[in-house]
């Protein structure tokens, strides 16, 4: 399988703090890859080093066969990104934000359809500041999908969403995955990870402590539930 995202020996430190240490991973086309770990484990830093919004100290990154820093304009025609924190202009409305985002790409998706599918089309004229946390989260997933991307990066996918909205988002992402979309996501919800991810990587203090399929993660642990296994992995390292 061709690698859509390939990371080799990525390291990044902030001053003396080593945020990411020798992380290697590869994500094939149409795969959903989950990057897991506690807060501060290095998930967001890893994503930002892959995207080029942070400069790694060492290591090689390629996305869709391109180097994010050198081929930025070409690469990001086909890549959607949702950052952990939502960034938007004061006083901008939902439709304005979508319209501007769509205008950045040569082949943008119809954002009205996306708003409809994510259930926030009635908010078209509302200022983004007036949306609820869950609505804003959905809006930023939509923004990541507007480029009609081949690969999306979703940092803290469903944080702030209610149970129903989470299921809706899972369903939409599963459909897109079936059509060949590659997804790299981070999440703190293990039910979500089980429902969506083909392959996971658990980070602890910037290092990979597990890499593989969810079934492998469970069988290599003393537990039979994934959430217990996940906590066992992250805890075990902490007790050293």
Partner 1 sequence: MRTFRTMLKTELKLSLRGMDMFIFAICVPLVVLVILDIIYGNKPAFEGAEYSFLEQSFGALATISICAGGVMGLPLVVSDYRNKKILKRFKVTPVSPSIILLVQVVIYTLYAVVSLILLYLAATIFFGYQLQGSLLHFLGGYILVILSMFSIGMMVGGIAPNIKIASVIASVLYFPMLIFSGATLPYEVMPTALQKLADILPLTQGIKLLKAASLGLAVDSVLVPIIVMSALAVICIAVSLKFFKWE
Binding residues for partner 1, per CB under 8 A?
A: 51-53, 72-74, 76-77, 79, 81, 83, 85, 87-92, 96, 99-106, 147
Chain center to CA of 17? 24
Nearest-approach distance from CB 190 to partner 1, in angstroms? 28
Q: Residue 60 or residue 74: which is nearer to partner 1 going by CB?
A: 74
Give me the least distance between CB of 173 and partner 1, in Å please.
19
- Region of residue 43 (phi > 0: left; psi between -120 and 50: alpha; otherwise: beta): alpha
Measured distance between the N- and C-terminal CA atoms of the chain, rounded to whole angstroms: 37
Is 34 or 68 the residue whose CB approaches partner 1 more closely? 68
d(Cα 40, Cα 22) in Å, to the nearest integer? 16
Least distance in angstroms from the C-beta of 151 to partner 1: 12
CA neighbor of 49 nearest in space, from 155, 130, 133, 144: 155
- Closest CB to partner 1 among 79 and 217? 79
Q: In a 3-state reduction of DSSP, which class is residue 39?
A: coil
3-state helix, strand, coil in the chain (%, to 5): 40, 25, 35
Work out how close the CB of 66 gets to partner 1 at its nearest, in angstroms, rounded to a whole number: 12
Tell me the closest approach of the beta carbon of residue 89 to partner 1, in angstroms: 6
- Tell me whether residue 16 or residue 55 sits nearer to partner 1 (CB atom): 55
Give the C-alpha distances (Å, rounded to integers) separating 128 from 37, 132, 137, 152, 164. Answer: 30, 9, 11, 22, 21
Choice between 91 and 179, CB closer to partner 1: 91
């Amino acid at each position: 399988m061709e690698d859509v995202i390939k990371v080799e020996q990525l390291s990044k430190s902030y001053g003396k703090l080593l945020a990411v240490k020798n992380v290697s991973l590869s994500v094939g086309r149409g795969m959903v890859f989950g990057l897991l770990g506690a807060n501060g484990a290095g998930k967001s830093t890893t994503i930002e080093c892959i995207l080029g919004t942070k400069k790694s100290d060492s290591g090689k990154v390629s996305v869709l066969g391109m180097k994010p820093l050198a081929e930025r304009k070409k690469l990001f025609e086909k890549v959607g990104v949702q950052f952990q924190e939502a960034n938007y202009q004061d006083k901008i409305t939902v439709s304005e934000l979508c319209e501007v985002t769509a205008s950045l790409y040569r082949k943008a998706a119809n954002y009205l359809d996306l708003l409809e599918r994510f259930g926030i089309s009635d908010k078209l004229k509302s200022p983004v500041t007036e949306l609820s946390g869950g609505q804003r989260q959905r809006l930023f997933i939509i923004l990541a999908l507007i480029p009609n991307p081949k690969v999306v990066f979703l940092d803290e996918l469903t944080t702030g969403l209610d149970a129903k909205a989470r299921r809706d988002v899972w369903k939409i992402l599963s459909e897109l995955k079936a059509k060949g979309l590659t997804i790299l996501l981070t999440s703190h919800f293990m039910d979500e990870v089980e429902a969506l991810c083909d392959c996971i990587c658990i980070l602890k203090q910037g290092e990979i402590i597990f890499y593989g399929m969810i079934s492998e993660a469970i069988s290599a642990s003393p537990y039979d539930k994934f959430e217990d296994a996940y906590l066992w992995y992250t805890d075990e390292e902490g007790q050293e």
